[in-house]
Structure 1
Amino acid sequence: MTLHPAIAEIPAGEWDACAGNDNPFVSHAFLSALEDSGSASPDAGWMPQHLAMRDGTGRLLAVAPFYAKSHSFGEYVFDQQWAQVFARAGGEYYPKLQVAVPFSPVPGPRLLVHADAPDADALRQMAARALRQACEELGLSSVHVTFCTGHEYDLLGRNGWLQRLGVQYHWDNEGYASFDDFLESLASRKRKAIRRERRDAHACGLTFHTYRGTEITPALWRDFYGFYLSTVDRKWGRAYLQPTFFRLLSERLGDRVVLMIARQGDTPVAGALNLMGRDTLYGRNWGRLEGDWPFLHFELCYYQAIDFAIAHGLKRVEAGAQGEHKLQRGYRPCLTHSAHWIAHPGLRAAVGDFLGRERAAIEAELPALDALTPYRTAL
């Protein structure tokens, strides 16, 4: 087992042989764009320590996107209260260790195993032990594997890790031939509401355009970065992503980068960034200029994404974190998973108790959320 302070130390072909091609967020291209742009860097509080495991011949068998963190920002699985409790007890929660895709609340594999590995779960268990070993040897408080797969969640839970659930809202393509075909699966009142939102969004003089890969010019990226900053400013957030990150995405991920732009006349006024996996469109960042455009966010981020998924035969749209308002627009509640190793016994017990109660509440809430979806019959 080795740790690497830059993903550039691991050849892209070897990394991607473990990451696969289903989920672009764990690809070498995406993670290297974050590092090479300075978006995920020690100066930003993300110190890469990528895990690599090789066999006796030097062949790479497993990797994990691994970081030492000096804060809890850009993760979307919130543990700041745990840090405050530990600090009041005299402990030091930071730095901590994180297996994650920075700034991306996108579910996907985190313990990445070569497709030809003879026993993938044995390697995942070895990786989990290596993560704990790194935590212990460095004398740190914890290690967290966030937005992992349900399979990884179960495996880590069986190996003594604390388990945490969350909720996101995803749209499933049930073989729809068109957006109107999708609407026919909804209750009449909900169907009319969505048609009205789409009509009003288009009636205010906006046109909507989709660009992929090399179609996304430097000028479009400059416009989009301005939209991104405007949204960050409105939400009192922090602009984690640097301008060069977006340009590097186009260069390294090609047509898997899908940028949707709203224009008023010839002027871009809003944009939504998506990445395309093997069968999923992932909505990421969006932003807009100031203006009175009804339902612009819903049209650009949700309905245009559904149109694109249907046209390209994709199975689902994952529209990012939070947002119960997505339910009324055909996005269904889905569980997300993370696993946590807490070194201090007292903090571990307290967090474990909290997570047990939180899981029960989320599992109880999920059917009630699903009942709020607009579908005429269960899918």
Structure 2
Amino acid sequence: MATLTQAESILDVDAAEWNALCGTDQPFIQHGFLASLEASGSVSPELGWQPAHALLRTDDGALVAAAPLYLKDHSMGEFVFDFAWANAYAQVGLNYYPKLLNAVPFTPVSGPRLLARDDGARRALAGALAKLPEHMGVSSLHSLFGDDSSTAAMLGADAHARRGCQYRWFNRGYADFDAFLQQLSSKRRKEIRRERRRMTDAGVAIVVRRPDEIPAALWDTLYAFYDRTYAIRGQDPYLTPAFFAELTTRMRDQVLFFIAYHNDHPVGMAFMMRSADTLYGRHWGCETDYHSLHFETCYYTGIEYCIEHGLACFDAGAQGEHKIRRGFEPVATWSTHVIADPRLEHAIGDFVEREAAMMADFEAEQRQRCNFEQAPATPP
């Protein structure tokens, strides 16, 4: 017999217990990443993220399943857009917020969302989570960017699946960047070489640094680059400076910064993380706009890093059909949704079914535009 409890902070959960359930070294689901978000104030009730992490324990107190869970009073920082659903609730006089979110904040990266000792524990956790909207008196539960096992467990608990599309680069055993380029069409090879040449001609070079290789004086500059990306859109940045300090203390071996220099002056950066087989591009920023700087910092140098270090996959972030022209390939992503109100549950279920068919067609069309007929198996 197992009982579901909820923790008001990931900092109240033992890190070793949590990580023992992950089944992967993907960084974002690890205790250290989630703890860095909360300890830095990037995630907090004041910002509309109330931690309510789900813990499934046996009678003897053993943790057999867990899920990152938040009570949300908005839909920002999620990357699976449900604003139209919130409007539909308002039109029939119902409150969409608060809602429950099973996800990694600000992180549209597919991976485990229901951590478990085994499939039975995962199914038990999914069943318990599906009942929470009714028990807590909230509109819904949303599990975003789940891997296959998490998605299957939620579907077994009668959730609705929603399909999305992202783009990833896969390493097919390339000896170097030029070997990768040879797999592309002549037109695309020329485009990429032209973009990279612009950087060389401008005197811009990228260096890859671990946190312990970054001088103290450079940290403020790197954060200013990140902040500028949001400022030009009129937004506050999601992550505080303290987040990067927390993360590099808790998970320094999985943190990388790709720093662009014009001569000896830093002009841009991409913040990335890695697992044993995958590089993850997360955030970028620059001092001023250089033509092709984003592509060089966020894509091409990352591809080179994967080839050099034998990584199987480069997940460079959400969205971006332009990635097709740069050797990335379309892959499906999944989220699952439990809707408490039966009227809206039916309407949303019908919508995501029709949307999934359109997304499947879109993904097939995108694959026809890329140079690869079949993507390799996606790393976990």
Residue identity matched to 2:94: G
Residue of structure 1 in register with 2:161 after alignment: 163
Q: Report the Cα distance in structure 2 between the residues aligned to 1:25 and 1:47, rounded to whole angstroms.
A: 18
Q: CA deviation at 1:125?
A: 1.5
- Distance in 2 separating the partners of 1:289 and 1:366: 35
Checking the alignment, whether the CA contact within 8 Å between 1:64 and 1:99 is kept in structure 2 is yes
Contact 1:208 1:261 in 2 (8 A): yes
Preserved contact between residue 190 and residue 374 of structure 1 (Cα < 8 Å): no
Between 329-338 and 124-133, report the one with greater CA deviation.
124-133
Q: Report the counterpart of residue 83 of structure 1 in structure 2.
A: 86
Distance 1:125 1:262 in 2: 46
What does residue 229 of structure 2 align with? 231
Q: Give the Cα–Cα distance (whole angstroms) in 2 for the partners of residues 74 and 378 of structure 1.
A: 31
Q: Which runs of 4+ in 1 moved over 3 A?
A: none
Q: 1:74 aligns with which of 74, 77, 80?
A: 77
- Report the Cα distance in structure 1 between the residues aligned to 2:217 and 2:254, rounded to whole angstroms: 19
Aligned partner of 1:134 in structure 2 is 132
**Are the aligned partners of 1:22 and 1:279 in contact in 2 as well (CA < 8 Å)?**
no
Asked if the contact 2:130–2:157 (Cα under 8 Å) also holds between the matched residues in 1, the reply is: no
| AA of the residue aligned to 2:260 | A
Q: Name 1:117's counterpart in structure 2.
A: none
Distance 1:196 1:38, change over 3 A: same
Report the Cα offset of residue 378 of structure 1. 5.4
1:358 aligns with 2:355: yes
The code of the aligned residue for 2:21 comes to C
Superposed CA deviations along residues 207-233 of structure 1, whole A, max 9, x for unmatched, are 211101322333332112111111102
Could you give the per-residue CA deviations for residues 126-152 of structure 1, whole angstroms, max 9, x where no partner exists?
Answer: 111221232211110000000001232
Match of 1:10 among 4, 9, 13: 13
Superposition pairs of residues 1-379 of structure 1, within 5 angstroms: 1-114=4-117, 120-291=118-289, 293-375=290-372
Is the 1:200–1:294 contact (alpha carbons within 8 Å) kept by the matching residues of 2? yes
Is this contact kept in 2: 1:144–1:340, CA < 8 A? yes
Q: Is the 8 A contact 2:123 2:156 kept in 1?
A: no
Q: How many residues align?
A: 372
Q: What 5-or-longer segments of structure 2 have no aligned partner? A: 376-380
Q: What secondary structure, in the 3-state scheme, does the structure 2 residue paired with 1:127 have? A: helix
Secondary structure of 2:268's aligned partner: strand
Q: Distance in 2 between matches of 1:24 and 1:181?
A: 29
- Normalising by structure 1, what TM-score? 0.95
Note if contact 1:19-1:113 (Cα within 8 Å) is conserved in structure 2.
yes
The offset of 1:374, in angstroms, is 3.9
Percent identity, aligned pairs only, is 44
CA distance in 2, matches of 1:162, 1:347: 12
Q: Which amino acid aligns with 1:188?
A: S
TM-score, normalisation: structure 2: 0.95
The CA deviation at 1:20 is 3.3
2:378 aligns to what? none
Cα root mean square deviation, aligned = 1.3
Code of the residue aligned with 2:183 in structure 1: it is S
Distance in 2 (CA, whole Å) between partners of 1:257 and 1:43 is 28
Alpha-carbon distance in structure 2 between the residues aligned to 1:220 and 1:374: 39
Provide the rounded CA distance (Å) in 2 between the counterparts of 1:56 and 1:158: 24
Return the offset for 1:160.
Answer: 1.0
* Structure 2 CA distance for aligned equivalents of residues 346 and 223 of structure 1: 51
**Amino acid paired to 2:114:** L
- 1:163 aligns to what SS in structure 2? strand
Deviations 1:156-185 (A, max 9, x none): 223310110101000000111111111111
Equivalents in 2 of 1:90, 1:229: separation in Å? 38
Residue aligned with 1:148, SS: coil
Question: Which consecutive residues of structure 1, in runs of 5 or more, have no partner in the other structure?
Answer: 115-119
* Structure 1 pair 254–123 and aligned structure 2 pair: CA distance change class (3 A): same
Contact 1:83/1:93 (CA < 8 Å) preserved in 2?
A: yes
**Distance in 2 separating the partners of 1:329 and 1:229:** 26
- Tell me if structure 1 keeps the 8 A contact 2:268–2:284: yes
